[in-house]
Amino acid sequence: MVTLKKYLFMTCAMLAGSLAMQAHGELVAYEGFDMPLQADASITGSSGATSFGWIDGWRHIDGPGTVKFVTESLDAGIPNSIGGSIMYDNGNCRENRTLNKIYGSVNETIYVSFIANLGDDNNVEFNLGGDWNSNTRGGIGCDDNTQVMLNVKEGSNNNKQIIAAPGVTRLYVLKMEFGDASDTVSVYVDPAPYSAEPATPTATQTVSSFSFDRFKVSRYNSSNIMLVDEIRIATTYAEAIAVVNAPEAVSPLHNATNVATDATLNWTDTLPSAAGYYVYFGSTSVTEPNELELAPKLVSTTPFSAGTTSYTPTLGNDMICQWQVEKAFTDDGLVNEAGDPNNVKGMIYSFETVKTIPTINADLPQYFRVNPGENVNLTLDAINVETYQWYVSADMVVGDDTAIGTNSNTFTINNVQAANDGYYYCVVSKSGTPSSTSTMCKLAVNRMLAWYKFENNLNDSAGINSAVFTSTGALVEMPYDTGIINADNQAYAAIPDGSVYGMTTTSAYPKAGWGNGLESFTYSAWVKCGEGQTGGHLFGVLNVGSTTGVRLTINNNGDVSFYLREETGSAIIADVNIVDVNVLDGQWHHVAVTLGNGQFRLFFDGVVVNSQNQTRTNFVDWAFPMPILAINSRGIFDRAFSGSVDDLRIYNYPKAMEDIAQEYYDATGIAVCLYGKPQYDLSGNCIVDIADFAIIANDWMDNGLYPIQ
């Protein structure tokens, strides 16, 4: 169920009692991001349920990024700023909305307020048609600077003034005063919600001609997450920063469960200046939910009297309920009707009554990862249950699945192995009532997914994804030569000439899905490139557009790079390189990358040389077959490997640093300085030994004292 944000309409009577009465203003446009969307859904084209004053929804102008509605609400000190906001968190993106009129008439004053967290290359603009390069524009943002600025552009002139530090959630109030010969644009930063309009703005700029009819939010080449909330456009300052003083629900708490059927709805009012209250209530059955019945409906067209703080609805078992309180004010001595824009609505609260049907209180974990040989216990917290039936699914679709386990809320797998990979769920039932089905738990067993030994073939020794020789030239089979890893009493390595590679399928590893080697992995290989050999891709595939993709590459300058991109187009690991190394020196080198437990690491010859914090799971299936020793870039094969490759491995979990170092040692007999040089290792061999003592002894009694002692 989507939690709706309250309307933010109010009259001057809602200001603190100590304030002098001000002329009633008009709230001409509002966007509180009360979206009937799931959290993290795109807002493009959506008008918002409580939005008004606009002639269109949010429109995506350009850029590969997306704007999302999120459940996080910004407040910047404004009481009861609840509901959602919009977030820009990947790629360049510009979204705008057009108002229902153009503001800029002589002697007209308009206020625009919004809450935002702005960082580098984030900008909120107020303009009239066109883009930033034409006409006169106003904006609040960073624009490649390290401070938030007010910027009014007139012609080719950008007039900028620093107004705040970035990275902080703030309330911004823009004031536009339109005159005959010139217009003034001012901004207040973090004004107190309960105070009158400040005497002095934070910054002011004067231009010859300014007008606007649209609100635009832009995020350019930035890694900063940008959040925007509570956009208000009004004719008075009081309406622009209207204090949200909706009734506050106390009980039942929002999203409460097992609420008694004789419960009373209770609320408080911190500034009891209302003429009365309207109550909205709706309910539906847990067994047969109906959103139309659930939507809160007006209880009575006659408002409850001022001071009322409770309402007793008719409740029964197994119900889902929503309720809302609207604070009513008077206009010309008459109490406003329900729904009047000058009333103030609280948020919609939800709760569930006591259940008599099988109910799952705490669901199964979404993911479960174990090592081979461990024991697994999946436990479901449910009530009113007579029968538990566990199932395992291979396709994540309920139905026609294998029934497993006993009639217990716990399902156990002893000595788990790769064959136990799957999606597990439980159906709970009770005679005479509908059954309930748990969410699916994806069990992934840590293991090697693919192992290309290149022992005179392109076989996958760990799975079923053996590669098929493919040539773009005259060769009819993959060349092989002496490798570094001895397998089956052989030591071969593939030596593609830059035009041959191995072809697998779209279902080859690594691929999308928990435990399939994209959200968590280890990729490793031995490589050697001599004179005339330029490296290339060890493996890789890119879906169409800026979507799911991966590649591990030896670059033609001798360094190593890795790239991983999720479905949203965000390059979560973008061209992370091992620099200051040279794989093109004719020697065998061990290359490995790992991702898991929130950490990405890139190894070279057994040692971590690059790392960063990373966690992502948003990947989809490959649209094109996966090649080994080349890349499939949107259906086009590119840069087959030029050099020698041995022992290419793919795991579905991050191997420990010690394991990577051990692989290097097993092949070379060389111990690596894995944990860094000890403090007193003066000789640089990663050991504090006699050589370090000799260095100290050689300089014994040297000193820098004056006079010399």
Residue 675: inside a domain, yes or no?
no
Residue 45 clears pLDDT 50, i.e. is over it: no
The CB-side HSE value for 601 (13 A sphere, CA atoms) comes to 22
Q: Specify the CATH number for the domain of residue 395.
A: 2.60.40.10
Report yes or no on 115 lying in a domain.
yes
Residue 673 maps to a domain: no
Environment class of residue 108 by beta-carbon count within 10 Å: exposed (0-12), middle (13-18) or buried (19+)? middle
CA separation, residue 425 to residues 286, 356, 401, 529 (Å): 20, 22, 10, 50
Number of structural domains found in the chain: 5
The answer on 489 and 460 residing in a single domain is: yes
Residue 485 to residue 664: CA distance in whole angstroms: 10
Banded model confidence at residue 124, pLDDT cuts 50, 70, 90? confident
pLDDT band at 709 (very low <50, low <70, confident <90, very high): low
Dist. CA 526–CA 528, nearest whole Å: 7
Band of residue 645 on the pLDDT scale cut at 50, 70, 90: very high
Give the model confidence (pLDDT) of 480-494 as tens digits: 999 999 876 778 999
Q: Is residue 556 predicted with pLDDT exceeding 90?
A: no
What is the overall mean pLDDT for the chain? 82
Residue 657 sits in the same domain as residue 708: no
Residue 238: predicted pLDDT: 77
- The band of 703, judged by pLDDT with boundaries at 50, 70 and 90, is confident
Look at residue 98 and tell me whether its pLDDT is greater than 70.
yes
pLDDT for 396 equals: 81
| Range from 328-332, 410-414, 496-500, 512-516 carrying the lowest mean pLDDT | 328-332
Per-residue pLDDT reduced to its tens digit, 364-392: 988 888 999 999 999 999 999 999 999 99
Same domain for 621 and 577: yes
**Beta-sheet pairing, 441-445 with 367-370:** parallel
Q: Is 692 helix (H, G, I), strand (E, B) or coil?
A: helix
Last residue of a domain, one of 240, 268, 287: 240
Q: Say yes or no to pLDDT of 96 above 70.
A: yes
Instruction: Say yes or no to pLDDT of 352 above 90.
Output: yes
Residues 337 and 382 in one domain: no
The percentage of the chain sitting over the pLDDT mark of 90, rounded to a whole number, equals 40
Same domain, 341 and 401: no
pLDDT band at 34 (very low <50, low <70, confident <90, very high): low
Residues in the chain: 709
Asked if residue 438 is part of any domain, the answer here is: yes
What's the whole-model pTM score?
0.57
- Same domain for 569 and 604, yes or no, is yes
Task: Give the β-pairing of 410-413 and 376-379.
Answer: antiparallel
pLDDT at 194: 52
Taking only the tens place, the pLDDT of each residue in 445-474 is 999 999 999 999 999 998 889 999 998 877
- Each residue's pLDDT tens digit, 145-166: 678 888 888 777 778 889 988 8
Q: What are the C-alpha distances in Å from 670 to residues 322, 667, 673?
A: 67, 8, 10
Q: Give me the domain span that covers residue 273.
A: 248-353
For 403, the token pair is: 């029934």
Confidence label for 129 from pLDDT (cuts 50, 70 and 90): low
Pairing type for strands 93-103 and 157-164 reads unpaired
Q: What is the rounded average pLDDT of the residues 194-202?
A: 83
Q: Are residues 604 and 624 in the same domain?
A: yes
- Write the CATH number for 470: 2.60.120.200
Residue 1 lies in a domain: no
Q: Is residue 472 part of a domain?
A: yes
- pLDDT value of residue 666: 94
Token digits for 243?
């204090």
Of 8 and 595, the structure prediction assigns the larger pLDDT to: 595
Same domain, 114 and 263: no
DSSP label at residue 73? -
Instruction: Give yes or no for residue 505 having a pLDDT over 80.
Output: yes
In the chain, what is the greatest distance between 2 CA atoms, to the nearest angstrom? Answer: 99
* 312 domain-assigned: yes
CA 166, CA 225: separation in Å to the nearest integer? 11
User: Rg for the chain (alpha carbons), in Å?
Assistant: 33
Residue 415, Cβ density class (10 Å: 0-12 exposed, 13-18 middle, ≥19 buried): exposed
Whether residue 260 sits in one domain with residue 196: no
The pLDDT value given to residue 8 = 21
| pLDDT (average), residues 21-49 | 51
At residue 606 the predicted structure's pLDDT band, cuts being 50, 70 and 90, is very high
pLDDT at 408 over 60: yes
Same domain for 460 and 439: no
Pick 672 or 194 by higher pLDDT: 672
Residues 155 and 22 in one domain: yes
Please name every residue paired with 158 in a beta bridge, in sequence order, or none if there are none: 153
Query: Which token pair is 198?
Result: 């400040």
In a domain, residue 215? The reply is yes
- 236 has pLDDT over 60: yes
Say if residue 189 is in the same domain as residue 311: no
